[in-house]
Structure 1
């Protein structure tokens, strides 16, 4: 059986699961809740509390779970699962590597902490992109922990240019501190972006006052294809001019 949780922060949906979930649970509770959330704003932050007596899903519920997942997969800002040690916690940690949103396991009794974690997740994109059509330089303003969606947006900006005009002259990262990732899945997507575009970006400028930026730029310049150079945070125009090339 499953029931909705109450008393959660605004914007956080909650479900408590016990016993074995059936198709009726999806039809009467889960699917209406998801559909309502999608109609209201299109994004979801979901807290799922798993009781010690949870036994999994019936076969027909598995089919409903797959259909619902395909329908709403891209609409989650984050999911928190409250459960003790065992197969649910282990499966959730493995899934966190693959899903395109932050997914975190909390211990029993930590539903309040899980709800606050969900409420504190950034609502906006962690990266704002601007492509200068005259120079082919992309400037990325990094303001939050990076999510998978941010790297998808970066690829959407960069790839059409490359398809039409060839290699990208320069990429400028303008950030207050070193980038962080909202989830392990976001880190994996970052690595995939780097590997997929290796050798196709001419210059990479790190524009930040982070003390180790210069050291990182020097080290990276010796091991990756783009020329890499660090600039102080206030010198964005100079970085953009350098990234455009001679």
Structure 2
């Protein structure tokens, strides 16, 4: 059985599921809700609560769900899955790696946490240029939308300096929320890897290995890594000749 969840922000849909979900319920409740919301919003968010007695989808419902997802592959901004069922969490985490939007999991005791996550801002990227130095600061968990928003600004900054010095600040970076965000991050590295004359990466411990891989892509630049406590040293190094 599917029940709609009320009192959600505009552009956010909520479904509570128990027992086995039939194709008739998908066609009567879920599909019209999604189609209508996408007429009003470019992208939507979804809260899905799977109760302890949830048994999965019937074959017809699974087909409808797959068809809906393929038709609106880029129509979702993020998805919160609330459940205590281990098999659902495992399947959902595997599927999340393939989706172009972030998926976050919550226990049934934390429905409010799921609501907050859907409504709060995610990560961001700050860009700043001072002379030849371009500072790129990654903050929080990044989703594909972040990279889409900064694409033009980043291209504009790099167009102003022939061989920029780049300071990449990862001290507040928590990772990527979706495979699409990681793909766009790698695409940016590919597009700009030949531009910097110097590159400094400032990161905390868990990101040191990622920082080394980032530096490896910039084979034509003078590169250096710094710990999170050495920002001033990184700034001095990036500015010196």
* TM superposition score category, shorter chain reference: 0.5 to 0.7
Q: For the residues of structure 2 that align with 1:41 and 1:97, how far apart are their CA atoms?
A: 25
- Deviation, 1:36, is 1.9
Does residue 37 of structure 2 align to residue 41 of structure 1? no
Q: How far apart, CA to CA, are the structure 2 residues paired with 1:158 and 1:88?
A: 40
The one of 189, 204, 208 aligned to 2:183: 189
Distance 2:141 2:165 in 1: 19
Alpha-carbon distance in structure 2 between the residues aligned to 1:93 and 1:18: 20
Number of corresponding residues: 224
Residue in 1 aligned with 2:103? 103
Bigger CA drift: 57-66 or 168-177? 168-177
User: Which stretches in structure 1 are left out of the alignment for 5+ residues?
Assistant: 160-167
Pick closer, same or farther for the CA change 1:180–1:172 going to 2, 3 Å. farther
Query: Mind listing any 5+ residue stretches in structure 2 that lack a counterpart?
Result: 156-161
Aligned residues of 1:23 and 1:58 also touching (Cα < 8 A):
yes
Normalised TM-score (structure 2): 0.67
Instruction: Give the Å deviation of 1:83.
Output: 0.9
* Matching residue of 1:65: 65
Distance 1:190 1:12 in 2: 25
| TM-score (norm: length of structure 1) | 0.66
Do structure 1's residue 74 and structure 2's residue 83 form an aligned pair? no
Specify which of 142, 146, 153 is matched with residue 142 of structure 2. 146
Inter-CA distance 30–171: structure 2 relative to 1 (3 Å threshold): farther
Q: Does 1:91 align with 2:87?
A: no
Q: CA deviation at 1:62?
A: 1.9
